[in-house]
A and B are shown apart, each in its own frame.
Chain A
Amino acid sequence: MADLTQTVLGVDWQSPVLLASGTCGYGEEYAELIPLDRIGGLVTKAVSLEPRMGNPPHRVAETPGGMINAIGLQNVGLSAFIRDKLPWLRENLSRARVLINVVGHTEKDFVEVVSGLDDQSGFLGYEINVSCPNVKDGTLFGADPETLAKLVAALRHETERPLVVKLTPNVPDIGLYARICEENGADGLSAINTFPGMLIDIDRRRPVIGNVSGGVSGPAILPMGVYLTWRARQATSLPIIGIGGIRSGSDALQYVLAGATLIQVGTALFVDPQVAIQVHQEIDDYCERNRVTLRQLVGALEIPGDPA
Chain B
Amino acid sequence: MHAPIRCWAEVRSLREAAQETWWLEVHAPAIAASAVPGQFLMAGFGLTQVGAPFLPRPFSVGWTDRATGTVGLLIREFGAGTRRLARLRDGDQLLLLGPLGRGFHIPAGRPTVCVGGGVGLAPFLFLASEARDSAAEVRLLYGERTADRVFDPVLIAELTGVEPIVYTEDGSIGRHGLVLDGIDVSDDPVLLGCGPTPMLNALEKFARERGSDLQVSVEEHMGCGIGTCQGCVVRGVDDSWLKSCTEGPVFGAGELAWPI
Contacts and interface: CB of A to CB of B under 8 A. Distances in A.
Interface of A: 22-25, 29-30, 32-33, 45, 53-54, 57-63, 65-67, 69, 71, 74, 218-219, 247-248, 268-275
Nearest to B243: A74
B101 to A, nearest CB: 13
Contact of B223 (A54, A247, A270, A274): A270
Given A59-B230, A271-B46, A67 B6 contact: no
B227 A60 contact: no
Contact of B54 (A25, A45, A219, A248): A219
A33 B4 CA distance: 8
B50 to A, nearest CB: 10
A57 B224 CA distance: 15
Interface residues of B, number: 32
Contacts of B232: 57, 59-60
Contacts of B225: 270
B89 interface: no
Interface string B2-30: 01101000000000000000000000000
Given A32-B3, A271-B46, A62 B53 contact: yes
Contact of B6 (A29, A74, A274): A274
Contacts of B234: 57
Contacts of B68: none
A60 B6 CA distance: 22
A270 B224 contact: yes
Majority-rule SS of B interface residues: loop
Contact of A67 (B55, B80, B228, B230): B55
A219 B229 CA distance: 17
A58 B230 CA distance: 11
Contacts of B3: 32-33
A270 B55 contact: yes
B183 to A, nearest CB: 28
B236 to A, nearest CB: 11
B119 interface: no
Contacts of B226: 25, 29-30, 33
Contact of B231 (A71, A248, A273): A71
Given A67-B223, A247-B47, A54 B55 contact: no
Contacts of A30: 226, 228
Contacts of B223: 60, 67, 69, 270
B96 to A, nearest CB: 11
Interface string B241-252: 100000000000
5 interchain residue pairs of minimum CB distance = A60-B231, A25-B228, A32-B3, A59-B231, A58-B221
Contacts of A23: 224, 228-229
B1 to A, nearest CB: 11
